[in-house]
Amino acid sequence: MGRLTTHVLDTMRGKPADRVAIRLFRLAKRRELVSSVTTNLDGRTETALLDEVSMSTGTFELEFDIADYFARQEVELAEPAFLDTVVIRFSLRADENYHVPLLVSPWAYSTYRGS
């Protein structure tokens, strides 16, 4: 069985993004909250979002509270924030490992399937 992990990198400051609230939802018949975590000082979660027990094939959404993170930084930004909550929708298979990082600035973001 596989697992799902993530991390957040602040590309404006060139460092991991700590204390970013993240929510993982499973999309099936209804939108179900699977996990709610916060990144550590390394921009990662302490545990996998889905592990070999909870991993399942399907479509999921990750929500990252980016506006809250950048509001805590010592950078003057416009109000309201351009990016509030970044949502990434993706599908996965239960028998594979997935790493879905978020590279983010106050004005742009990107993601990819990592290993």
DSSP letters spanning 76-89: ---SS-S--EEEEE
Instruction: Tell me the CATH number at 87.
Output: 2.60.40.180
Using pLDDT thresholds of 50, 70 and 90, give the confidence band for residue 12: very high
Domain that holds residue 58: 4-111
Look at the chain and report how many structural domains it folds into. Answer: 1
Report whether pLDDT(97) > 80: yes
pLDDT grade, residue 108 (50/70/90)?
Answer: very high
Could you give the CA distance from residue 57 to residue 87 in angstroms, rounded to a whole number? 19
Split at pLDDT 50, 70, 90, the class of 79 is confident
Per-residue confidence band for 74, with pLDDT thresholds at 50, 70 and 90: confident
pLDDT recorded at residue 36: 97
Note the pLDDT tens digit of each residue in 31-61. 999 999 999 999 999 999 999 999 999 999 9
| DSSP per-residue codes, 63-77 | EEEHHHHHHTSS---
